[in-house]
Amino acid sequence: MRRRLAIAIVGLVVAALFLAGIGTIVLTNVTSRADAEQDLREQVEAIGGLLDELTLVRTARDNEATLRERLRNIAASISVDGIGLLVLPRNGDPIGELPEGLTVEDLDLTSLRIGETISNREGELIWAARSSETRQGIPGLLVMTTDADPTLPPAFRWFLVASAATIGIAFVVTVRLSRRLTEPIRQARDVTGRLANGELTARVPVEAADSGDEVGELTASINQMAESLQRANALERQFLMSVSHDLRTPLTSIKGYAEALTDGAVDQPERVGEIIEQEANRLERLVGDLLLLARLESTEFPLHHSSMDPRSTISSVIDGLQPDASDRGIELLSRFPDHEVTIDVDPDRFAQIVANLASNALRYASRTVSLTLWTGAGSVHFAIGDDGPGIDDDDLPHVFERLYTAAANPAIKESGSGLGLAIVRDLTERMGGSVTARRSAMGGAEFVVSFQQAR
């Protein structure tokens, strides 16, 4: 990537220099030619007006070579390359010798005869011509020529020098910039490779993640991903140990009582049978929760939606939990609206959500569990709160993770299987609702389940 970036930037600089430099040189050359032509026209007009007042007297000693030498001296004194004085008869071609590089066909004799000044450029030759009439009444023609200034070669040389310096600076800047841009990406590549190989403690250096640009955001996201993977891996190990313990405890109890029955060492077989049945039910619930979670993760989990009034379902759950609440000395308080409330959910799964939350509240409540149903903003909200020890603020974002257990002691974090609240979250979201955890007004924990009100 560094090589491609350097080539792209340097190539862009070279292309920009080429277009800007060549365009500037061409425009400068064209402008300088136009300025030189205009200067030559002004010189022709000035000298032509002077010749109208003066007369070049040809002595007996002057021959053609001498006269041409005098004209060359005049041309040198006014910084032109060629000058010619010719007789311009009213009809016919001019009499005399034109400066080198010009022919009669190049001149517009008609315009010259009416007193106009003409000029043109022929390749590198710039010329201007003007007619005049001496005091003796002889019609004359003044023609001056000059070569275009060789602006291109010097300008091109300076352009090459400036371009070389600019390209050198661009190369140095590109190398430093590419290193700064690609070094965090290279570090991120190395870290992702280490993460893929199972090294979950790998992190991108902090200075690369704190650059503040898009690359910094990328590296910061990789570090967050690595932390999430490391935490998920630790929670997975915790989950396996917790589930193994939860399975081993009832299995050990069942096995021990079964061996005692087999050996005939049990005085009350009916009581042993009840214990074995309780432990088997415990195993069944745990395995059922695991299977339900696995099914919730698949796309084939069946839901049978229908419009229902949640008040009756909640009341049924309360009636079923009343004996357990009485044994614990806990009061179940419920507040429902007087008008009919309708939501579109799976009735059985909604009852499972209410039962899981209510059982969880009973487990940690001290004296009171409140169940409240209300409507607002087009939604139906159901809250279950308790007056137990509550949940630490640090734990609130994790209570619905399947590896979290709301223990009576809030200091115990992410221990146990934590399947009940995970099932509540997955079922609620599958049915189009949402569930949140917060502190209860009674000081404990409160869970709020919300669904859109059915039309």
- pLDDT single digits (tens) 96-138: 788 888 888 888 888 888 888 888 887 778 888 888 776 666 7
**Do the domain assignments include residue 202?**
no
pLDDT value at position 410? Answer: 43
- Looking at residue 149, the DSSP 8-state letter turns out to be P
Q: Is residue 364 within 8 Å of residue 444, measured between CB atoms? A: yes
Q: Is residue 170 within 8 Å of residue 54, measured between CB atoms? A: no
Cα dihedral sign, 73-79-84-88: negative
What's the whole-number mean pLDDT along residues 42-52? 73
Last residue of a domain, one of 253, 271, 301: 301
Q: How far is CA 246 from CA 281, 293, 294, 301, in A?
A: 12, 17, 18, 26
**CATH assignment at residue 237:** 1.10.287.130
Q: How far is CA 388 from CA 87, 395, 416, in A?
A: 124, 15, 19
The pLDDT tens digits of the residues spanning 193-236 come to 888 888 888 888 876 555 666 777 888 888 888 888 888 787 77
Dump the DSSP string for 372-386.
Answer: EEEEETTEEEEEEEE
Q: Is residue 218 within 8 Å of residue 188, measured between CB atoms? A: yes
- State what percent of residues in the chain have pLDDT above 70: 80
pLDDT value at position 144? Answer: 84
Last residue of a domain, one of 114, 137, 153: 153
pLDDT value at position 60? Answer: 47
Give the domain extent around 126.
2-153
**Residues 36, 144: one domain?**
yes
pTM (two decimals): 0.48
pLDDT value at position 148? Answer: 72
Look at 146-150, 295-299, 372-376, 380-384 and tell me which has the smallest mean pLDDT. Answer: 295-299
**Residues 403, 329: one domain?**
yes
**Do the domain assignments include residue 207?**
no
Strand order in the sheet with 379-386: 331-335, 368-376, 379-386, 445-452, 434-439
**Do the domain assignments include residue 227?**
yes
**Residues 293, 319: one domain?**
no
Structural domains of the chain, count: 3
**Do the domain assignments include residue 408?**
yes
153 confidence band (pLDDT: 50, 70, 90): low
pLDDT value at position 309? Answer: 92
Task: Say if residue 57's pLDDT is above 60.
Answer: no
69 confidence band (pLDDT: 50, 70, 90): low
**Do the domain assignments include residue 351?**
yes
331 confidence band (pLDDT: 50, 70, 90): very high
Beta bridge partners of 448: 383, 436
**CATH assignment at residue 376:** 3.30.565.10
Cα separation, 395 vs 111, in Å, equals 100
Q: Which of 311, 418, 302 has the alpha carbon at shortest distance from 349?
A: 302
